[in-house]
Amino acid sequence: MSSLLSVLTLVGFLGRIVGTDGYLVYPENTVLQHVIGISLPVFTTKRGGVASSIGFQLNFVLPYNVTQFEPVVIPARQARDLTLEDTYKSIETMLDEHGWHGRECLLRTICELAELPLERNRQDLFEEIIYLLLTPSEDLPEAVNSNHRAVNKLYQEAERLGMNPNLGRSSWLSP
């Protein structure tokens, strides 16, 4: 019975891919069930033995009415315009709470990243996140119809100093 349901489910998914508007519904209270288990002997003797078993069972209630296919709209939280400057302030606060000089440490990091940039090959998500966070010049410019404001000039100056080693390197940012 379960193989028949699997085939019917597959046919239903293929019908959706092809673009038909039909829905595949099942009789009411139909459950698709997958069971997997394993049993291993713990010890055995001539008279018998003890085995340890574990099993998993997954049950899926299948749709029996077309109305169950309608999307459920869950309202999202109110969107907040998070700016790069807000992110910098959060990083500074976190660093200050751990006993480091938050602003100086962040400015020095921005300067050093500009001085020795990451080799971005667009294959590493972590590198992209670090680059976008610590490169103020990548911040979006202020738009007319947005409350987004450009990042503080101090961060942009730290990046500019890092890109031009003749301006004094990152030493001016040391705490």
Residue 19 CA: distances (Å) to CA of 14, 23, 68: 9, 11, 19
Rounded CA separation 73/128 (Å)? 32
* Per-residue confidence (pLDDT) for residue 175, from 0 to 100: 47
- Backbone dihedral angles phi then psi of residue 35, each to the nearest 5 degrees: -130, 135
**Tokens found for residue 158:** 């730290």
Ranges of each domain in the chain:
2-69, 84-173
In the chain, pLDDT over 90 holds for what percent of residues? 18
Model confidence over 102-147: pLDDT tens digits? 999 999 999 988 888 887 776 778 888 888 888 888 776 654 445 5
Beta-bridge mates of residue 35: 57
Q: What's the mean per-residue pLDDT of the chain?
A: 76
Per-residue confidence (pLDDT) for residue 57, from 0 to 100: 94
